[in-house]
A and B are shown apart, each in its own frame.
Chain A
Amino acid sequence: MSSDDDHVYLSLAEGHADDARWAFGTGFEDPLHGVDQTLPEGVDAEAHAAFCLALADDALVAAQRLAQWITLAPELEEEVALANIGLDLLGQARLLYARAGQAEGAGRDEDALAYFRDPSEFRNVILAELPNGDFAHSMVKLLLLTSWRLAQLAGLAEHPDPVLAAVARKGVSELTYHRDHAAQWAIRLGDGTEESARRMREALAELWPYRAELYAAAPETRDEVEAVLTQVLGAARLAAPAETPVSMGRGRDGQHTEHLAELLAELQSVARADPEATW
């Protein structure tokens, strides 16, 4: 190890008064630490809190699903990629939870919102919480979710709330990489072997109807997302499934599948085991 590396690892072991030691898993401070928290005039605090919360829930739940691929992905590089994408989304979730908590003004921080709400209080879209399925399922899901979120965040880049606008602008750069990744896989699998194409067709057939909820939550994204999907499916030599409406809950209203409860039970178990713990 070089002396530079030594410096870093030694510094992790030192005690500091400003105790933000990420390597120890404790002392995570407010991700909006030192950012002006004022909500601009004309932004309705309650509605804004709910809006940021929904965007955060989509990101947190999707990040958790991506993390579930760790140790299971088909190759090491893919595992690293999915973990990175999840980490970006988790970062977005943290900032958005912190912002939602500020706008709400009830003293809830990111941890309170992520760990101490029950499934019915989550506002993520259903697509985010669906189980990973096989790799083709996960890539179709990732393509749908990232195309939609990218369109949504691009539209928020000039939001009157400077904090949300900044999170959105940064998120656009990150999601561009995520969507690229999903699109490349969709093409590789769709235009791949007979077996990979079959799995893609199955995944598409199952997940295609969930677009309806995405467009209901953010109608302005429809044209852009549909154009992207047409482009990717064309390159992947896959046909868009017929539009078959399925009956599903509305995640934005807190109506979820049983899969969310399962996901949250795992995600929240440590924090809830000892809410007062510092470690």
Chain B
Amino acid sequence: MSAVTALGTRLTAAHAAAAAVRDPELPMLTLADLGVLREVRVDEDGSATAVLTPTYTGCPALAEMRADVAAALRDAGFAEARVETQLSPAWSTDDITAEGRRKLAEAGIAPPGAAPKRAAGPVPLTLGPTRAAVVHCPHCGSADTEETSRFGATACKALRRCRACREPFEQVKEI
């Protein structure tokens, strides 16, 4: 096997190991599903580096993710494993993959709609019921749902209720 191929194989292994790490607060998602794994590099000296971006600035799960990714890389045979943080471009719920959205819905959590697009400059304040996007109930599929609180058990989720089946549910809110 040539050196280049060997490096390619190691890179595939490192990427697979880091990508399979689960989010501590949304354990049905891997970090790849969540879209927070920005890059994995393998160097000639055999070390591996994964680049993560935080979901929310204050998300306490980031340190946990870092530790889990480093451990996963070591388990995959990289004695030297580093995790870097990338702040820009900021993570958006648009970075959650289609697979991630499917898994969220399956777990009873409504996936986010499209994140608001922001132009540079002042952020306009919109008052009143503005959520034009329809959020379907992950239990019965009804589109007749309402927001009960914009803030949920973790920074990334809002609370909603289905008017059809009366079940409360969580939604990953757009950011």
Q: 8 Å CB contacts to A: which residues of B80-126?
A: 82-88, 90-92, 116, 118, 120-123, 125-126
Residues in A whose Cβ lies below 8 Å from that of B28: 4
How distant is the Cα of A120 from the Cα of B106 in the complex, in angstroms? 53
CA distance A96 to B17 in the complex (A): 32
Tally the A-B contacts, defined by beta carbons under 8 Å.
154
Query: Which A residues lie at the B interface, using CB under 8 A?
Result: 2, 4-5, 7-8, 11-12, 16-23, 27-29, 32-35, 77-78, 80-81, 83-85, 87-92, 94-95, 147, 150-151, 154, 157-158, 162-163, 165-167, 169-174, 176-177, 179-181, 183-184, 187, 224, 228, 231-232, 235
Q: Which of A23, A33, A154, A228 contacts B64 (CB 8 A)?
A: A23
Look across to chain B and name the residue whose beta carbon is closest to the beta carbon of A78: B149
Which residues of chain B have C-beta atoms less than 8 A from A235's C-beta? 127-128
Which chain A positions have C-beta within 8 A of B56?
Answer: 87-88, 91, 170, 174
**B15 contacts the other chain (Cβ, under 8 Å)?**
no
Residues of B bordering A, CB below 8 Å: 22, 24, 27-28, 51, 54, 56-61, 63-64, 66-68, 70-71, 74, 82-88, 90-92, 116, 118, 120-123, 125-128, 148-153, 155, 159, 173, 175
Task: Pick the 10 closest A-B CB pairs, nearest first.
Answer: A91-B58, A34-B84, A91-B57, A166-B87, A81-B151, A77-B149, A166-B88, A20-B63, A4-B27, A84-B151
Please name all residues of chain A whose beta carbon is closer than 8 Å to the beta carbon of B91 when the two chains form the complex. Answer: 170
Q: Shortest CB–CB separation between residue B158 and chain A, in angstroms? A: 9
Are B122 and A88 neighbours in the complex by a CB distance under 8 Å? Answer: no
